[in-house]
Structure formats: C-alpha cells, structure tokens
Amino acid sequence: MTDLVKDRTMNNAERKERRGFASMSPEKQREIASKGGRAAHQKGTAHEWTSEEARSAGRKGGQISRGGRGRLDAGLDGAGADQATGIAAGE
C-alpha cells in the first residue's frame, strides 16, 4: 500500500467529526424537519395516522422499550427464571 493510500485510509478511519445534518444544533435540525413535514402535507404525500395505527405503534414501542419483558415474563408463572439462561432463581 502506498503512503498516500495509507494516509487516506487512516484519515477516514480516524474521522469522527459530525458532518452535514448531524453537525447542526437540535433546534436547526427540528426547523428543517418541520419544513419538510409541512411541504409533504401541502403536497399530499404525508402519512396521516389513524387512531388504530397510532395505538399499534405505541404498543410496539412500549414492548421494545421494556425489552420484551412483558411478553417473556408472562409464561414464567412467577417462577423467577433468569431470561438469559432460563435457570430459576436460587438454582
């Protein structure tokens, strides 16, 4: 590998600075995203949530944020099994 290629490879691997949209302040990002949302609504291409879609999305988000604990623990009948190993507490 030539020195020039090594320098470019190392620079790309070491580069951690944020660029573009990610480098903007959260306020500026929100402003730009808001403009995009308004434009989509004016154009008629924006997604409009039904109450059932919103309910379903909220349910899925809640399950994910709990790490699925609500679903896995339901089948344990209070036995206290470790989720990762399936071994009951105290064994």
SS3 annotation, 2-55: CHHHHHHHHHHHHCCCCCHHHHCCHHHHHHHHHHHHHHHHHHCCCCCCCHHHHH
72 and 83 in contact (C-beta within 8 Å)?
yes
39 and 46 in contact (C-beta within 8 Å)?
no
The model's pTM: 0.40
- Alpha-carbon distance of 73 to 87, in angstroms, equals 13
Percentage, residues of the chain above pLDDT 90: 38
For residue range 30-59, what is the model confidence (pLDDT) as tens digits? Answer: 999 999 999 999 999 998 889 999 999 999
pLDDT at 13 (0 to 100): 57
pLDDT at 84 (0 to 100): 53
